[in-house]
Structure 1
Amino acid sequence: MPEYVPIKGYDQLMDALKSQSKNNCLIYLYFFGEKDQNGRSWCPDCVAVEQNVDTAFRENAHPNSLIYTVDVGNREAWKDTTNNKFRLHPFNMTEIPSIQRWNGVERLDGDQLRKPSLLELFFEEAKLASSTDNTIPCK
């Protein structure tokens, strides 16, 4: 079963990725808006896709992968196009929610996460690509 690693903010994500850099293992990044004390994100799109994404990870993610669930912050921080580091290289994000394979090209954003068939294809492509680019299972 994949290991879920909760991440809060850009700096914590970069630290986690640096700590795994020598391992070259398969890491999925799931970006979403900050959640309140009831576990509900301020981002309505994030709320709308949460069940699909959870199911897709459970059913399709490589069993020996890491899943970084990345809280990009509150609405104000996300909308700050000047200082939001998630909007810059290497993530180049323009919308949330988003799923990416770290060090890969596979990515789904926004409404694409509402489609189970696209989520399934994302994981198939990520597994295939990881088998050819020397990415290894994490465990």
Structure 2
Amino acid sequence: MPEFVQVQGIKQLEDALKANAKNNCLIYMYFFGEKDNKGVSWCSDCVASEPTVQAAFRNNAHENSLIYVVDVGNREYWKDEANNKFRLKPFLLKEIPTLLRWNGVERLEGDQLLKPSLLELFFDEMKQSSEIDNTVPCK
């Protein structure tokens, strides 16, 4: 089963990536807007896509993968294009929610995450890749 790691903000994400830098670990990142104390994000697109994305993680993610569930912060921080480090390399986020494979080209954004068939293809791409044979468990 994939391992899920909750990450808050850019610093925690950078630290998590450094911690796994030497592992040949299959890492996915799911970026969403900060949630309130009731567990609801300010980002309505994130709220809409969450059930579909969570089902895709359960049904399609590789069993040895590591999934960073990344809180990009509050609305004001997200909208601050000049100072929002998630919008810069290496992440280059244009919108949330976004799902990507670290060190890969696979990426789904916005309403693409509402489509179970696209999510299935996203994960199947890695399952069919020869790279998966070199991936070690992330746990």
TM-score (normalised: structure 2): 0.95
Q: Confirm or deny: 8 A CA contact 1:101 1:126 kept in the other structure.
A: no
The RMSD of aligned alpha carbons is 1.4
Task: Output aligned runs, 1:17-56, within 5 Å.
Answer: 17-56=17-56
Instruction: Provide the identity percentage.
Output: 70
After superposition, give the CA deviation of every residue in 1:89-115 in whole Å (9 maximum; x if it has no partner): 000000000000111110000000000
Gaps of 5+ in 2: none
Q: Please report how far the alpha carbon of residue 134 of structure 1 lies from its aligned counterpart in structure 2 after TM superposition.
A: 4.2
When residues 52 and 132 of structure 1 are mapped into structure 2, their CA distance, relative to the original with a 3 A threshold, is closer
For 1:135 and 1:85, how far apart are their aligned partners in 2?
28
Aligned partners of 1:130, 1:97: CA distance in 2, in Å? 28
CA distance in 1, matches of 2:84, 2:129: 29
Matched residue, 1:13: 13
Structure 2 vs 1, CA of residues 77 and 127 (structure 1 numbering), >3 Å: closer, same or farther? same
Q: Give runs of ≥4 in structure 1 deviating > 6 Å.
A: none
Q: Look up the match of 2:100.
A: 100
In structure 2, C-alpha distance between the alignment counterparts of 1:78 and 1:133, rounded to whole Å: 37
Partner of 1:123: 123
- The more displaced of 37-46 and 127-136 is 127-136
Structure 1 residues 82, 44: closer, same or farther in 2, change over 3 A?
A: same
Distance 1:130 1:73 in 2: 36
Could you report, residue by residue, the CA deviation over 1:58-113 in whole angstroms, capped at 9, with x for unpaired residues?
A: 00001111110000000000000000000000000000000001111100000000
Q: Where does the alignment leave 5 or more consecutive residues of structure 1 unmatched? A: none
Return the TM-score normalized by structure 1: 0.95
